[in-house]
Amino acid sequence: MKTPSGLQPLIDDGVIDEVLRSLKSGKEATVYVVRSGERLLCAKVYRDMGQRSFQRRAQYQEGRKVRGSRQTRAIGKSTRFGKKEQEAAWKNAEVDALYQLVAAEVRVPKPYGYFNDVLLMEMVTDAAGAPAPRLGEVDLSRETALEYHSFLMRQVVRMLAIGLIHGDLSEFNVLVGHEGPVIIDLPQVVNAAGNNGALAMLERDVNNLRGTLGRFAPELLGSEFAREMWSLYEQGTLHANSELTGRFVRDSTTPDADGVLQVVDDAREEAIRRELGRKAG
């Protein structure tokens, strides 16, 4: 095929030898199958999305670290430089996350480098060596669905144990490789400790998988893995090998708003009495 302009510099520099075909095209990137020596890889070519996508991305980027104070100020003011930095931060987030997750033994595609808005990574294949299908494209037995669910919950736990949440996990972002599920597509990865929407995104991720695999194993549909792992995370007791039960008792008690207001009023009156006493003395 004709070499895409975004990949020509990698061929010129000898990073890859040949572009074989397009594998997947989306709103934010196109993925190609490329050859590097004897090895087949995926090359993810990111698009420049422009200002129109920044508002949608903001919910994911809350709490992420930016390189320096100049970049932070520019992004906050939405200057031209700031928009460029925000675009770069969005793309770099996936690269950084992949390296962190591989180190944490989460099953994601192994990255091989990032060159001029192009991410080179492992090509996930099925048993025949063809590109692996997505989770939503395969039929599963009950036993296999339970096995995949257990495995994916362990991956989500390992992610959360290092402070990360996928943020967009579903049947479309899990490939079924020859050794089992592989989690993909992480530019929207969420900082669990710094994002106010972290729990909601974790619940959405986990419940998406619950719904998909629950079609084959209905007993999964009543599980509460997201709340259980979040509770452990908040307590500081979640670790990579935490054993989960899928059970979580939600607090159904109604908050005592009047009681809270009374405590506030009592504290205010006490502060006033102390101030009056100090002045009188």
What confidence tens digit (pLDDT) does each residue in 142-201 have?
Answer: 999 999 999 999 999 999 999 999 999 999 999 999 999 999 999 899 999 989 999 999
Ramachandran region, residue 191 (left: φ > 0; alpha: ψ -120 to 50; beta: rest): beta
DSSP 134: B
Q: H or E stretch including 29?
A: strand 29-36
**Residue 215, in any domain of the structure:** yes
* CATH assignment at residue 64: 1.10.510.10
Position with higher pLDDT, 84 vs 90: 90
Residue 103 is predicted with a pLDDT of: 97
Looking at the structure of the chain, the number of domains it has is: 1
**Residue 274, in any domain of the structure:** no
- pLDDT of 81 higher than 60: no
**Cα atoms in the 13 Å half-sphere on the side-chain side of 87:** 19
Residue 251 tokens read as 């607090």
**Residue 109, in any domain of the structure:** yes
The whole-model pTM stands at 0.80
Q: Percentage of the chain with pLDDT > 90?
A: 66
The total of other beta-carbon atoms located within 10 Å of residue 171's CB is: 16
The arithmetic mean of pLDDT across residues 5-29, rounded, is 93
**Residue 211, in any domain of the structure:** yes
The total of other beta-carbon atoms located within 10 Å of residue 63's CB is: 15
The total of other beta-carbon atoms located within 10 Å of residue 99's CB is: 13
Residue 211 is predicted with a pLDDT of: 97
Give the pLDDT band of residue 249 (cuts 50, 70, 90): confident
Q: Which long-range contacts (CB under 8 A, 24 or more apart) does 81-84 make?
A: 83/51, 83/54
How many Å apart are CA 114 and CA 50, to the nearest integer?
Answer: 21
Nearest Cα residue to 49 out of 75, 72, 78, 29: 29
Tens digit of each residue's pLDDT (9 = 90 or more) over 213-246? 999 999 999 999 999 999 999 999 999 999 999 9
**Residue 261, in any domain of the structure:** no
**Residue 271, in any domain of the structure:** no
- pLDDT of 210 higher than 80: yes
**C-beta separation of 213 from 138 below 8 A:** no
Residue 221 is predicted with a pLDDT of: 96
Position with higher pLDDT, 276 vs 244: 244
The arithmetic mean of pLDDT across residues 9-33, rounded, is 94
Q: What is the DSSP string of 8-25?
A: HHHHHTTS-SEEEEEEEE
**Residue 245, in any domain of the structure:** no
The arithmetic mean of pLDDT across residues 38-52, rounded, is 82
- pLDDT of 64 higher than 90: no
Residue 88 is predicted with a pLDDT of: 74
- pLDDT of 50 higher than 70: no
Tens digit of each residue's pLDDT (9 = 90 or more) over 110-127? 999 999 889 999 999 999
14: which residues sit within 8 A by CB, 6+ positions away? none
Residue 38 is predicted with a pLDDT of: 94
User: In sequence order, what are the beta bridge partners of 122?
Assistant: 41
Query: What are the Cα distances from residue 211, in Å, to 205, 206, 215?
Result: 10, 9, 7
The arithmetic mean of pLDDT across residues 24-35, rounded, is 92
The boundaries of the domain holding residue 90 are: 8-235
**Residue 273, in any domain of the structure:** no
- pLDDT of 263 higher than 80: no
